[in-house]
Every structure is written in C-alpha cells, then in structure tokens.
Structure 1
Amino acid sequence: MHQVEEFVSGTAMPAVRAREGSLAAAILMGGAVAGVLDETCAFVTMGWNVPRVVAGGLLGTWAFQSTSDWVWWLGVVLHFTVAFGAATVYCLASRKLEFLRDHFVLCGMFFGIAVFLAMYLVVMPLCAFHYVGPYTLRMLVQAIVVHMVLIGLPIGMSLRWFG
C-alpha cells in the first residue's frame, strides 16, 4: 500500500523521469541504423552511384556526370541527415504521443510510410531535378516496404530501447 501512495502522491515520479532521460541516444541510434540499412538497400538495388543521385537533389544533374569524390560523400552526408532528421521527428513526437514508444512496431512502420510520403511527395519534387515520376506499382510497393521495415521500424525500436 505504501508504494501505491508514493506513486499517487508523485514521490515515485523522479525514478520514471530518470528512466526516460534524454532522447539523444534513441535519435543517434535510430538515425544511424535506419541510414545504414536504407543506404545498403539502395547500394544493392541501384548500385554504388546512389549517393551521387542524392547529391543531385541539391546540385542538379551536374552531380551525375561529376567524377569528384566529394559529390559522392555529399550524397552520403545528405542521406544520413535525412535519416537523423526522421529519427528526431519521431523521438520528439513521442514526448507528447506516448503510444509511439508503447506500440513501437506498428507506429514505427506507419512512420516509415509517412517518411516515404514526405520524400516522394515533397522532397523529390522540390529537389534540383524536380523528380515526380512516373512510378511503377512495383517500385512504389518496394519503396513503401523498405521505408516501413528499414527506416520506420529501426527508429521506433531505438526509441523503445534507448529512449
């Protein structure tokens, strides 16, 4: 009975707050794992020049013809910036929407769909080469599944384990 009174009165709350702590570990781990998995998938399916395509979103079509190593590395940095940004959004949203942590599998996978929609409907049309399709059904299904499993799920899991 004494434990229940402590919990109701709020004296047990500092232990709960200490457990939640900073979200930095969840953001760093989620962004890193999602970035590595997504980049690896891109290398396997589209080849080693994928970072040049990502850099092309900022630099334009010139990035595709460039042989400079810095263009390739810029693409990698931009890719991980997006991955860490997605992890930051999810983890900060979990401060107000606690179910994101409790139901991390389902919420993480739906978040992966949200990341896909943001990338394909906002980022890619606004990039330097204004990519808006055409898309095939196979490509869309593959991209949605990749974003659900390789981006959303690791971010949700990192919040659950490290947040």
Structure 2
Amino acid sequence: MPASNTFKRNTLRNILWLGLLTGTLDAVAALLLNYKISPLLIFRFIASGVFGKAAFAGAEEMVVAGVLFHYLIAYVFSAAFYLLYPFSYSIFKNKYVVAIVYGGIAWVIMNLIVIPLSQIGPHYIKPMAIITGVCALIICVALPVALIADKKLSKRA
C-alpha cells in the first residue's frame, strides 16, 4: 500500500478516536461544571440550537439529538485542529501554547458565532462562565488534540 494511503487512513483513524475522546471529555466537563442542572436538560439545550424551544418539549429523542450534535461539534473541532496543528505549531513552536490558543478560538467560535446564529440566539455570558468554558475547552479538547497530533507528527518526522 502506498505511504500516502497509509497516512490518510491513519489520519482518519486518529481523527475518529480524537472526536470520541474530546467529545466525551467535554461532555463530562459540561456535566461537572453544571452539576446542579439535569444532564437531560443540558443535552436538550444543545438540541435547542437546531430545534429551538421544541427541544425542551420533546421526548427522549431530543436528548439523543443533543448528544449527537455535541459529538458532531467535537468531531469538527477535533478534525480541524488536528489538521491545522502542523501550521499552528510552526507559528507558536510549543504544543501547550497552541492548545491554549486553540481552546480560546474554539470558545469564541462556539459562543460568539455558532450559538448566536443558532435557534438559541445571542445571550449574556457571565465572566466566570467564559473563564471556565475556555479552560474546559483547553483541557478537554485542545490539549488532547495537541498532544496526540504532536506525537503523531514526531513519529512521522
């Protein structure tokens, strides 16, 4: 098998595992940070980005939709970061700095672009929620992707 096909297959496999890992870590962080709120309500809130208020009136399918949307978003961010990692590393020269920058960018994209454009719409975000949200994304999404991408690139070089 040609080396390029092996590289593409390995990249796809890495992204699939990373999306599962980061989606799970981020979901656990969301549940822990919002421990006073029912997990079902948290995933209904995610589903409300597409379904609006109907997500809170719907049955269990809205919870499932929220979980699926959560993982879809995690996969998109993980794939983008994994693929952009070599470029980002060439700029910052440090995988931890790359993770911090990426976590901040991911928070901005989600909270200042995606959510306001969704059925949820724009809403006030408390400063402490910004800090905890960015930290959660750095730890649960950006750092795992940076560490794994760095390891995979080091092996390839």
TM range (shorter): 0.7 to 0.9
What is the percent sequence identity of the aligned residues?
A: 18
Please tell me whether Structure 1 or Structure 2 has the larger radius of gyration of its CA atoms.
Answer: 1
Equivalent position SS for 1:21: helix
Q: Residue by residue, what CA displacement relative to the aligned partner does 1:59-95 show, whole Å, maximum 9, x if unpaired?
A: 00111122x1111111111111111101111122235
- For residue 149 of structure 1, report the CA deviation from its aligned partner: 1.1
- 1:82 maps to 73
- For residue 97 of structure 1, report the CA deviation from its aligned partner: 4.8
Q: Residue by residue, what CA displacement relative to the aligned partner does 1:18-37 show, whole Å, maximum 9, x if unpaired?
A: 7x923113212221111101
RMSD (CA atoms): 2.3
Q: Establish whether residue 28 from structure 1 lines up as the match of residue 16 from structure 2.
A: yes
- For residue 162 of structure 1, report the CA deviation from its aligned partner: 4.2
Pair 118,83 (structure 1): closer, same or farther in 2 beyond 3 Å: same
Counterpart mapping for 1:6-25 below 5 A? 21-22=7-8, 23-25=11-13
TM-score by length of 2: 0.80
Query: Which of the residues 31, 45, 48 maps onto 1:53?
Result: 45
- For residue 125 of structure 1, report the CA deviation from its aligned partner: 0.3
Counterpart mapping for 1:63-142 below 5 A? 63-66=55-58, 68-94=59-85, 96-97=87-88, 99=90, 103-130=94-121, 132-142=122-132
Pair 91,84 (structure 1): closer, same or farther in 2 beyond 3 Å: same
AA partner of residue 123 (structure 2):
G
- For residue 104 of structure 1, report the CA deviation from its aligned partner: 2.4
- 1:6 maps to none
TM-score by length of 1: 0.78
Q: Residue by residue, what CA displacement relative to the aligned partner does 1:110-149 show, whole Å, maximum 9, x if unpaired?
A: 111110000011001011121x221211111111111111
Pair 103,146 (structure 1): closer, same or farther in 2 beyond 3 Å: same
Cα distance between partner residues in 2 of 1:106 and 1:59: 36
Q: Tell which has more relative contact order, 1 or 2 (C-alpha 8 A, sep 6+).
A: 1
Which 5+ residue runs of structure 1 have no aligned equivalent? 1-16
- 1:14 maps to none
Greater displacement, 88-97 / 45-54: 88-97
Cα distance between partner residues in 2 of 1:42 and 1:57: 16
Cα distance between partner residues in 1 of 2:29 and 2:42: 10
Which 5+ residue runs of structure 2 have no aligned equivalent? none
